[in-house]
Amino acid sequence: MGEQRLIGKWRSDADDPEGISKFGEVSLEFSPNGGLAYTIHVDEKRQIILLTYRVEGDVLITDQPSHPKEERTKFRITVDGKLVLLHENRPSAYVRVDR
């Protein structure tokens, strides 16, 4: 159920300068098969990290197959449709770009 709400592309919320300052300008693309493309946008360049993901309750669990280590991040989707990730007690917000 939780995975279905995440599927699609999300981008850093311009109304979240603290999150962008901490984590950079990021896009997240969740696929239905458990793949996650985590893209960091710097100037005209992009760094893409390919991950796998699953959801347990309100926790997003990601792993990078090339360097296996699970990361657990609490998340929620707000009433106005934003994705909020709480990583190391620091929130970052994302807005849906498409499904």
Residue 56, pLDDT score: 94
pTM of the predicted model as reported, rounded to 2 decimal places: 0.88
Total domains present in the chain: 1
Domain of 41 in residue numbering reads as 2-98
Cα radius of gyration (the chain): 13
Residues 17, 58: Cα–Cα separation, whole Å: 24
State the Cα–Cα distance between residues 35 and 29, nearest whole angstrom: 8
pLDDT (average), residues 17-42: 90
The predicted-structure confidence for 31-78, as pLDDT tens digits, reads as follows 999 999 999 998 889 999 999 999 999 999 999 988 889 999 999 999
* Distance (Å, whole) CA 63 – CA 44: 27
CATH code, 89? 2.40.128.280
pLDDT at position 99 over 60: no
